[in-house]
């Protein structure tokens, strides 16, 4: 039996539900690309955000004690941080990567400029992308949230050809299967973090009212329809509770399920299972769409942050997308999208979408496996 490969995994292990499911799904798949066991060491990036540790020589030393460094998945090429030397959530410069002896795989990372671009990011991010996409010891992959298009604002097409298009791992949660139910279950996630962006054009209360009206209209079609409210993090409880308040008393008391907040893998699995038992989903977060879409469950996206609209555009599902910044007839447009998504004719479209995502991951697997074999052979691991 081959010696285990030691992997330092830099990511958010205590973030929202999507983060936890991402790592769960990724590790099973990644291990399958290597014909040897893996030993993982978690490094919580929120420790850096909370200033409990820094990207200094101690980080370099820790990484160099491992055979491989994996960064992400996650939305870690955000470009707004001002205290970061790189101008991104990953405070590593090209010089730092030069100091790393271990190979580095950047895993299906998000690239997000919507909250602004710091002066450091304008200078450092192009240098980082150039290094990560050309150094044989590093491999950069980005997720399907418009990241590749965003990178075009920083580097040329030649370098982008070396970046791996790797669909988010949450599309492929191991062991998750669609659950048939006797009831018509509508799952809803709403988000209220980043309020300056999410509610820049439509007031929070107006958006909630529009969703409540559309949900009530949809549920009126069936006496046994159930509303399942699915929070991904603590702040989601606030806006989902507002939604609950706007519904008729009969629905609130008799036809609503409100998921809880159990930390860690157990809680993330509960959320994934909750989506698996839905007939249709209204999604406001990136991963609240990714989970059901991965199961071919009809999903309506209400986009008031660009990652969601970019995801639906990437998957050719724009007919199921509603612009959450456009207040005109918002409730009616949500209702129309729900009716369209839930129609029998959408089933084949969704199944074809899932096949496309699987094919893209298969192509990425070939690229990543080739790189891993080469880089591990070079380092005699």
**Can you give the pLDDT at residue 381?**
60
Ranges of H-type helices in 183-235: 195-198, 204-219
- 262, 287, 357 from 238: Cα distances, Å: 16, 19, 33
Phi, psi of 378 (to 5 degrees): -65, -35
Place of tokens 């062991």: 175
- The token pair that represents 85 in the structure block: 């030397």
Phi, psi of 222 (to 5 degrees): -140, 130
- CA–CA distance, 8 with 43 (Å, rounded to integer): 7
Ranges of H-type helices in 16-104: 17-32, 46-49, 57-64, 94-99
Regions of the chain where pLDDT drops below 50: none
**Can you give the pLDDT at residue 369?**
96
**Can you give the pLDDT at residue 380?**
62
- 29, 73, 135, 292, 376 from 173: Cα distances, Å: 10, 14, 31, 11, 27
Angle at 326 between CA 321 and CA 329, to 5 degrees: 85
**Can you give the pLDDT at residue 333?**
97
Phi, psi of 174 (to 5 degrees): -65, 135
**Can you give the pLDDT at residue 156?**
84
Number of CB atoms found within 10 A of residue 158's CB:
10
Report the length, in residues, of the chain: 381
- CA–CA distance, 313 with 309 (Å, rounded to integer): 6
Start-to-end Cα distance in the chain: 13
Q: What is the pLDDT of residues 32-54, one digit of tens each?
A: 999 889 999 999 999 999 999 99
**Can you give the pLDDT at residue 169?**
96
**Can you give the pLDDT at residue 312?**
96
Q: Number of H helices and number of E strands within the chain?
A: 16, 12
- What burial letters (b/e) apply to 161-174, b meaning 16+ CB within 10 Å? ebbbbbbbbbbbbe
Tell me the chain's radius of gyration from C-alpha atoms.
21
Residues 6 or more apart in contact with residue 266 via CB below 8 angstroms? none
Find the largest Cα–Cα distance for the chain: 66
- What burial letters (b/e) apply to 59-89, b meaning 16+ CB within 10 Å? bbebbeebbbbbbbbbbbbbbbbeebebbbb
- CA–CA distance, 305 with 320 (Å, rounded to integer): 16
Contact indicator for 108, 72 with CB cutoff of 8 Å: yes
Q: Considering the entire predicted model, what is its pTM?
A: 0.94
**Can you give the pLDDT at residue 263?**
87
From the number of C-beta atoms within 10 Å of its C-beta (0-12, 13-18, 19+), residue 207 rates as buried
**Can you give the pLDDT at residue 1?**
64
Torsional class of 37: left (φ above 0), alpha (ψ -120 to 50), beta (otherwise): beta
Closest by CA position to 268, among listed 284, 291, 248, 250: 291
- CA–CA distance, 274 with 187 (Å, rounded to integer): 8
**Can you give the pLDDT at residue 150?**
92
- CA–CA distance, 58 with 186 (Å, rounded to integer): 48
- The token pair that represents 253 in the structure block: 């008391």
Number of CB atoms found within 10 A of residue 37's CB:
11
- CA–CA distance, 184 with 186 (Å, rounded to integer): 7
- CA–CA distance, 365 with 368 (Å, rounded to integer): 5
């Amino acid at each position: 039996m081959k010696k285990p490969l030691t992997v330092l995994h830099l990511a958010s292990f205590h973030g929202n539900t999507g983060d936890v499911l991402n790592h769960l799904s990724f590790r099973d798949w990644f291990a399958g690309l290597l014909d040897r066991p893996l030993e993982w060491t978690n490094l919580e990036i929120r420790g850096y955000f909370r200033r409990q540790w820094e990207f200094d020589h101690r980080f370099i030393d820790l990484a160099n004690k491992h055979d491989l460094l994996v960064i992400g998945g996650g939305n870690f090429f955000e470009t707004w941080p001002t205290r970061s030397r790189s101008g991104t959530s990953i405070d590593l410069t090209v010089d730092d990567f030069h100091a790393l002896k271990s190979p580095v795989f950047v895993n299906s990372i998000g690239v997000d400029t919507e909250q602004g671009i710091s002066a450091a990011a304008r200078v450092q991010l192009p240098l980082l992308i150039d290094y990560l996409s050309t150094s044989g010891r590093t491999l950069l992959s980005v997720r399907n949230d418009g990241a590749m298009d965003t990178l075009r604002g920083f580097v040329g097409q030649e370098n982008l050809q070396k970046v791996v298009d790797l669909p988010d791992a949450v599309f492929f949660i191991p062991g998750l299967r669609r659950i048939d139910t006797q009831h018509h279950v509508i799952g809803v996630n709403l988000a209220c973090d980043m309020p300056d962006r999410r509610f820049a054009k439509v007031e929070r209360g107006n958006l909630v009212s529009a969703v409540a009206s559309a949900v009530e209209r949809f549920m009126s079609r069936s006496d046994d329809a159930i509303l399942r409210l699915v929070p991904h993090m603590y702040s989601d409880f606030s806006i989902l509770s507002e939604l609950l308040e706007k519904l008729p008393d009969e629905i609130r008391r008799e036809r609503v399920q409100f998921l809880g907040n159990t930390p860690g893998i157990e809680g993330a699995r509960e959320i994934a299972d909750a989506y698996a038992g839905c007939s249709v989903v209204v999604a406001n977060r990136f991963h609240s769409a990714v989970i059901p879409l991965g199961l071919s469950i009809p999903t309506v996206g209400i986009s008031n942050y660009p990652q969601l609209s970019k995801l639906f555009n990437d998957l050719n599902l724009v007919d199921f997308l509603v612009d959450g910044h456009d207040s005109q007839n918002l409730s009616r447009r949500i209702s129309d999208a729900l009716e369209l998504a839930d129609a029998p004719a959408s089933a084949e479209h969704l199944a074809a979408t899932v096949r496309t995502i699987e094919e893209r991951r298969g192509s990425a697997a070939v690229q990543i496996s080739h790189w891993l074999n080469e880089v591990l052979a070079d380092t005699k691991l």
